[in-house]
Amino acid sequence: MANVAFIGLGNMGGPMATNLVKAGHAVTVFDLAPAACEQLREAGADVAASAAEAIAGKDYVISMLPAGKHVAGTYLGDDGLLAKLDASTTVLDCSTIDAATAREVGEAAAAMGIGFMDSPVSGGVAAAAAGTLAFMCGGSAETFEKAKIILAGMGKNIFHAGPAGAGQVAKGCNNMLLAIHMIGTCEALEMGARNGLDPKVLSEIMLASSGRNWSLEVYNPYPGVMENAPASKGYQPGFMVDLMAKDLGLAGGIADASGVDNQMGKLARAIYEKHQGEGNGQRDFSSVLERYQD
């Protein structure tokens, strides 16, 4: 059992912190939203009045915040949490943020002798609740060994991607590829349907052929092909277009900063941002199929 502070109890952080309580850890939580804290109190956590109060004397500090500016604001500077922690604490930021901020926080932590790991997740709210998230970690091997103990209470697959920032790079690579194969799957299915093929039969053919991919296998975007996919439930998320657009922006930043020619990623980003701008932000990302049907 470990003493854990958990900061950021939204759609993802709430169920993740709850799973740590269920795993037997002593969890102290903080969120700017009092209602989110109350839910965790009911689940068995202690509630702190501030992030600084939550981290006092803890073995682990975990955060699940919206974006890089929230993570930088929480950890850096004279008033930031790093300045208040002692070197025995392990800090795990599970938010999806830009790799540059993750590296900056990692380097600031390292300079103080604090183990920091960017640990973004794959898997949405359902995986957070089920405790089946995948974690992509960036930090030292020593910090990774400590991180695994606690991340195992929230997820199934825990990967060490490399040094600080590498978790965010891995997440950017994965979600850029996800967007590209989702869009490609939509185009292929619509092309088949317009030429008289049953999307279900075409899906079976491609699944047994070289077009096989995750979107086709577990998340078919064509309504009615897969009973439990968001496409068959009016594109209720699932994984929202807003989040995909955010992740493609972060992936684009990584590609540009490293000089990678990422035409497919840029095109996927433009398609998702257009879809988002037309009122689809809160719908599942597989609703991009409808762009090909109009």
Q: Which residues of 174-190 are buried (b: 16+ CB within 10 A; e: fewer)?
A: bbbbbbbbbbbbbebbb
**Residue number, 77 or 113, with CB nearest to ligand NAD:** 77
Residue in 5, 12, 244, 268 binding ligand NAD, rule: CB under 6 A: 12
Distance CA(175)–CA(180), nearest Å, equals 9
Window 117 to 176, contacts with ligand NAD (CB under 6 A): 121, 124-125
Among 95, 119, 203, 262, binds ligand NAD (CB under 6 A): 95
Question: Interface with ligand NAD includes 36 (CB under 6 A)?
Answer: yes
Which range touches ligand NAD (CB under 6 A), out of 19-27, 32-40, 202-210, 218-226?
32-40
Dihedral sign, CA of 19, 25, 31, 35? positive
4 forms part of the interface with ligand NAD (CB under 6 A): no
Sign of CA dihedral 159, 165, 170, 171: positive
Instruction: Give the residue with the Cβ less far from ligand NAD, 110 or 125.
Output: 125
Please list, in sequence order, all residues whose beta carbon lies within 8 angstroms of the beta carbon of residue 292, skipping any fewer than 6 positions away: 186, 187, 190
70 binds ligand NAD (CB under 6 A): yes
Contact (CB, 8 A) for 241 and 280 = yes
DSSP code of 277?
Answer: I
- Interhelix angle 241-257/166-194, nearest 10 degrees: 120
Establish whether 171 is a catalytic residue.
Answer: yes
- Please give the residue whose beta carbon sits closest to ligand NAD in the complex: 10
Can you tell me the distance from the alpha carbon of 23 to that of 2, in angstroms, rounded to the nearest whole number?
Answer: 10
At its nearest, how many Å lie between ligand NAD and the CB of residue 185?
A: 20
Q: What is the spatial distance between Cα 281 and Cα 19, in angstroms, rounded to a whole number?
A: 28
* 51 belongs to the binding site for ligand NAD (CB under 6 A): yes
Among 2, 23, 26, 32, indicate the residue that binds ligand NAD (CB under 6 A).
32
Q: Which is nearer to ligand NAD, 8 or 172 (CB)?
A: 8
Name the residues annotated as catalytic: 171
Binding site for ligand NAD (CB under 6 A): 7-13, 30-33, 36, 51, 64-66, 70, 74, 95-96, 121, 124-125, 239, 243, 246
